[in-house]
Structure 1
């Protein structure tokens, strides 16, 4: 046992004992990591607010038998504007929730960490709304190897795919459409494909397709494959 170094974005925290917290953070090399921050809930904690959700931090940890203990923390990025706007805060919380749901312990997550960092930077810089969340979730699906087929039938590759199936993995033609596949409004598939190809910090311009519609399809697709609801989205869409 000894000291080790790591860095990542804090996903969530929860109480542990009278004054300690468990800090759950996403690391590029170690995936989802749980560690102890001793005395962090005390008024004069030496950690201050540096171990709150959304904080991108550099850490020194003392290796423990079950949980490592955080001994030093330095801020890399705090994304300060997220905390000043309720919409940004809810959208950022959704990003953290999704990352927490897909990240695994002891599994390298460099792609997911970079995506989360760039998504939070976009929010901090004033980019937000349904299109940003759609792009984020489509790219999370891509990181997981679950990116939906949006330009051709997921079953046979035909270009005339008019229905969408969560089970089949994207758009499907009439011949391949399983039970439960449903027809999307004109333009939705093309807009989804445009968003999937875009940079999360440089979104395409507005579309005639309502952003809530593309987000709804993407949310349900990801929830289907995660086998869980994205709770923060319920707050976002109220």
Structure 2
């Protein structure tokens, strides 16, 4: 059994048995891993509050015969404690880690996605990530996962979206009016929303006004749910907190 050390972000945890815990990690070099932490719920010394969502850790892991690895130790490198004091920041962080968990497969390295999530959590902790930044994070995460929605042209004819564009999650993005008959689920969207999302994809960080931001949030929720086959649980939590 090989023992290795890696950097990791905690995506989620699940209590197992009376004292153990299963921890889903996004590691820098080994991708998403499910780690078995024996006695994690009883031992205050071994893991000392490290096994909580969106902690950044240095972990010592051991490969086992199955797909699950064994977690031998975890040292906290960043707890993002300032973000944990604000419910809106907690909601955004939980959404970000759940999205990364669902977009990735076990044991497939995603160093760019790790860096993206690490950077976003750091910005949340420093109170430097406004509401629009979550949309930018999502678009980048989708791009790293090979699920980039298209906003620059019609996904069906490759022509310009036009003055009355639509969005269709099934076809993966914008649909022009002439092609809308071939996109049964397409919904009309303002041209300004299309250009705003395209600008975020291109790396611009100009904040979207609240109305467009709410529309963008709805579009991405539908798009992500379509490709994942389910709605992310943290979407409902963000709605409860009052975030668009």
Normalising by structure 1, we get a TM-score of 0.90
Is 2:167–2:175's contact at 8 Å kept on the other side of the alignment? yes
**Structure 1 residue 64 corresponds to structure 2 residue 64:** yes
Q: State how far apart, in whole Å, the 1-side matches of 2:149 and 2:39 are.
A: 45
**Structure 1 residue 166 corresponds to structure 2 residue 169:** yes
Is 1:223–1:229's contact at 8 Å kept on the other side of the alignment? yes
Find the residue that maps to 1:154 and give its secondary structure: coil
Task: Give the deviation of 1:208 after TM superposition.
Answer: 7.1
Task: Give the deviation of 1:182 after TM superposition.
Answer: 1.5
Is 2:14–2:22's contact at 8 Å kept on the other side of the alignment? yes
Aligned to 1:176: 179
Find the residue that maps to 1:204 and give its secondary structure: coil
Normalising by structure 2, we get a TM-score of 0.88
Q: For 1:85-105, what per-residue CA distance to the aligned partner results, in whole angstroms no more than 9, with x for missing partners?
A: 111111111111111111111
Unaligned runs of 5+ in 2: none
Aligned to 1:26: 26
Change (3 A) 1:36 1:213: same
Task: Give the deviation of 1:22 after TM superposition.
Answer: 1.1
Find the residue that maps to 1:236 and give its secondary structure: helix
Matches within 5 A, 1:149-164: 149-161=150-162, 162-164=165-167
Change (3 A) 1:2 1:204: same
Q: For 1:86-132, what per-residue CA distance to the aligned partner results, in whole angstroms no more than 9, with x for missing partners?
A: 11111111111111111111211112211111121121111345412
Is 2:152–2:160's contact at 8 Å kept on the other side of the alignment? yes
Is 1:153–1:171's contact at 8 Å kept on the other side of the alignment? yes
Find the residue that maps to 2:127 and give its secondary structure: coil
Q: State how far apart, in whole Å, the 1-side matches of 2:112 and 2:102 are.
A: 15
Find the residue that maps to 1:25 and give its secondary structure: strand
**Segment drifting more, 55-64 vs 36-45:** 36-45
Aligned to 2:218: 216
Change (3 A) 1:136 1:155: same
Q: State how far apart, in whole Å, the 1-side matches of 2:230 and 2:210 are.
A: 30
Is 2:132–2:207's contact at 8 Å kept on the other side of the alignment? no
Q: State how far apart, in whole Å, the 1-side matches of 2:153 and 2:147 are.
A: 15
Find the residue that maps to 1:187 and give its secondary structure: helix
Matches within 5 A, 1:92-111: 92-111=93-112
Task: Give the deviation of 1:43 after TM superposition.
Answer: 5.5
Is 1:13–1:24's contact at 8 Å kept on the other side of the alignment? yes
Unaligned runs of 5+ in 1: none
Is 2:104–2:145's contact at 8 Å kept on the other side of the alignment? no
Task: Give the deviation of 1:41 after TM superposition.
Answer: 1.0
Q: State how far apart, in whole Å, the 1-side matches of 2:219 and 2:61 are.
A: 41
Aligned to 1:37: 37
Q: For 1:109-163, what per-residue CA distance to the aligned partner results, in whole angstroms no more than 9, with x for missing partners?
A: 1122111111211211113454122112211221122211112111222114311
Change (3 A) 1:175 1:76: same
CA-based RMSD: 1.9
